[in-house]
Structure 1
Amino acid sequence: MVSLRRSIYKSPAQLRSMVEPGLITAAALEAVRALIAPGVTTEELDAEASRVITARGARSNFQLVRGYRHTICASVNEQVVHGIPSSRALEPGDIVSIDAGAEYRGWNGDSAFTVVVPDASRPDIVAEREELSRVTEGSLWAGIASLASAGHLAEVGVAIQSFIDDAGHGYGILRDYVGHGIGRKMHESPSVFNYRVADPGPEVRPGLAVAIEPMVVIGDQRTRVEDDGWTVSTVDGTAGSHWEHSVAVHDDGIWVLTAPDGGKAGLAPFGVTPVPVV
């Protein structure tokens, strides 16, 4: 038990050290989001994220992953996660998921969002994809909100899946890719499932820091890794969405490290008020 506690629970001082990398990650994603438009390449989005992160004295933790040289992952349409930035230009109606993280003074942030590029000529497709993104984001906040009262980490997956199921669209939830602990490394134990599992998982108590990231698709949840060895795409070719935040559980409550307001707006519909890490 002592070993487990040391591996996944942080001290108050360590949680405080995670605030700045979370805010840097949020700033990078905000800058990228402002650039998304038809004709913009995913390489250009990658360059903007790199500019923001380095200007804040941090570095991309994605570039610390062996074999990966980019600052973001940019996944378009049937690509759900781990898409590699390239000269591909965004087109009207594309659904785009951007994932990024920053390391600052040895601590990490990790976050992702999804947006649909406007397309007045295809309102039905845009509406379908915007609903997918809305439900995925909502499930993320449902999972985060559950941390405020959960006894064990598996309750996060119950909350996420329940939100998605209640939407009534029959969306698929990726099973092969899940959330994770975060701290000195971008990816740490424990795993954070986005669906119901039998194992209750570790206790949710002060010191827990996790990245919650539902990955949801319009059709079947089965995926394949493309020839580039990174990009994860749906087998049936249907669109996917990915939302993520890094969250800290502390003595006074929960705080979303990668949201500038700590998660206040996202958590309000669930009756949860985040409390800053101090």
Structure 2
Amino acid sequence: MAFIYLSAGFAAWSQPLCEEANLHKLVIGIDHVPIVVRDLNEAKTLFSDRLKFTVKNGRAHEGISNFFVKFQDGTYLEFITPLDSSFAIGNYYSNFLKHRAGGTSLALSVKSADSVMLLLQQCAVPFKSNANPIWLSVEPSGNDLFYIEYRNKNWKEREVNTTHANQSLSLKSVWWISKDPAKYISNFTKLGFINKGASTYLGIQAQVLKAESSELIVVSSSEGADILGNFKSPGTEGIFGFTVKVKSLNIVRQLLKDQNLIIKGNSIIYYAKDYNFFIVFTE
């Protein structure tokens, strides 16, 4: 996607219209997460053949190629490899790969991209915008997040693309890690999440942010050190995990029995080490 700057200059979120309550009223939930990889075919083999997800092929466009893992509730993971850095989007993912592979940003589905842009303008927050026949997108600068509104509100992915052998149903949570989690908690609550307070997941102290039914689980690097130690890039900051809701954990155990799963309480964990994230399967 080629983004266009529609606002300039940066100011603190000081105006009354810039309170977090305004943006959260526009947010429907986490829509998808782009994940950049070096070898798209290897990633496809992992997710389709080994982890038993159904994969929807994408296409080459704007300097990238991609594929999707889509869920029944409309959420999805998008796997991307850059092909041509002369395109803006290809260049972005090429630069990201210089640091690591993995999740790059959060895409939040919104009721009205125009309303999001108006609010960001009123708040003097710089952003980029893109429009095409399928969606409108808005990206506030420097926040690892963008908003997306689909033009056809009634469109649904075909069932064949959202039915998985491992019986996955939805992307329930995204995990975020940082040496400075307070900064991201503050930013994300301004950008549409609601802070639900502290909780413990997988024995890890975390802060839980909500966007409707979606969760963003924010963890400090010290709390998540044991998880990071499993990754190819243990210094990962940003997106480092996903919780995927499934119909049956027993099916996951049976189908993925040769995949070095970790059973922890009512969860099954798989480390995608080369991609610097883990997947938590849960009912």
Q: Same fold (TM over 0.5)?
A: no
**TM norm structure 2:** 0.28
Greater helix share, structure number: 1
**TM norm structure 1:** 0.28
